[in-house]
Structure 1
Amino acid sequence: MNAQHDGPDRAHQRPEGLSDTTVEALGSLSKALEMTERARGRLYDFHQLTGGADLELDRAVRLLREAGHPEWAEKVRTEILGRNVIPGHWTFQIVEAYNDTYYEPFKALEKSAVDELAGGRDHLYEAEMKEARRTAGHPAHTARPDSP
């Protein structure tokens, strides 16, 4: 097997002159963005779970009325149903603010750093780690999906 056909594709090869420290820094920046992606997912979990709970309150209000507890039904309806989760905000507004204030600028900065410093070649740190950990010639350790 020709080594040229067994390594990473061009998009995952370090541009000439790019230092180890720069590759490591871009890997760290990418890892931080990935952690932010996970945090953002949890924020959407919060948004959907809180919204689902608020919708379930409609059922609780109805059942409290049916069970003969109109005062409790009204208390739930007026005190909790539709309530802001923090002053002036429903969860969708928190998600929007997070996206606009933190997530989108972070995502754009990470892309700009990869574009400017590594010629747009993403995941160089991981690609080089894969190369260092592969067992040459092993069918489950190929460099690319199209490797023989």
Structure 2
Amino acid sequence: MTSPDHDGPDAAHLRPEGVDDATVTALGKLSEALEVAEHARGLLYGFHRLTGMADLTLGEAADAFREAGHTDLADRIDRELVGRNVIEGRWTFQIVEDYDDGYYAAFKATERDAREQLASGKRHLFEAEMKEDRRTHGRRHHEAVPADSPDE
């Protein structure tokens, strides 16, 4: 059960002194944009895995065509598709690495630096304040923070 004297966000999600609404809103938008980039990154990793699976399956298809006596088609699949770059000079792992080391790393650093500079590094202030506004205080399943552990 939550402590009766604790009916608001935990310290990690309280707005620091002097941080105005416009700043919390702007940090919230930056966080939202990062979440979209995180989603894109996940899709990129999915693309990487699926493309790798396709390449391995192409190899199996070439073997099957060869066993079925269609060596010309098997040779063409091996020659033109198996192991082919998906983008000029790159396999998908190289695309993922470029994304991670370039755009994604810069995005993460900028978002972190903005939080450090403007909100003492606190994350999700906008969402924490939205939760406080939207939840029904005192109602089960609308608690401000998780219940205390039983051994406390």
TM-score (norm 1): 0.95
The number of aligned residues is 147
Q: Does 1:59 align with 2:57?
A: no
Q: Which residue of 1 aligns with 2:78?
A: 77
Structure 2 Cα separation of the partners of residues 3 and 16 of structure 1: 24
Structure 2 Cα separation of the partners of residues 31 and 10 of structure 1: 21
What CA deviation, in whole Å up to 9, does each residue of 1:49-101 have, x standing for no partner?
00000001111011101111001000000010000011100000000111111
What CA deviation, in whole Å up to 9, does each residue of 1:8-45 have, x standing for no partner?
11111101110100000000000000000000000001
Unaligned runs of 5+ in 1: none
Q: Which residue of 1 aligns with 2:130?
A: 129
Amino acid at match of 1:33: L
Structure 1 Cα separation of the partners of residues 3 and 12 of structure 2: 19
How many angstroms does 1:141 deviate by? Answer: 0.5
Q: Does 1:49 align with 2:43?
A: no
Q: Does 1:92 align with 2:93?
A: yes
How many angstroms does 1:2 deviate by? Answer: 7.8
Runs of 4+ in 1 over 2 A off after TM superposition: 1-4
Percent of pairs with identical residues: 58
How many angstroms does 1:115 deviate by? Answer: 1.1
Q: Which residue of 2 aligns with 1:30?
A: 31
Q: Which residue of 1 aligns with 2:119?
A: 118
Amino acid at match of 2:60: R
What's the RMSD between the two structures over aligned residues? 1.4
Structure 1 Cα separation of the partners of residues 3 and 75 of structure 2: 76
- SS of the equivalent of 1:15 reads coil
- SS of the equivalent of 1:89 reads coil
How many angstroms does 1:146 deviate by? Answer: 2.8
Structure 2 Cα separation of the partners of residues 3 and 18 of structure 1: 27
Structure 2 Cα separation of the partners of residues 92 and 116 of structure 1: 34
Q: Which residue of 2 aligns with 1:108?
A: 109
Q: In terms of mean alpha carbon deviation, does 29-38 or 96-105 score higher?
A: 96-105
Amino acid at match of 1:108: A
Amino acid at match of 1:101: G
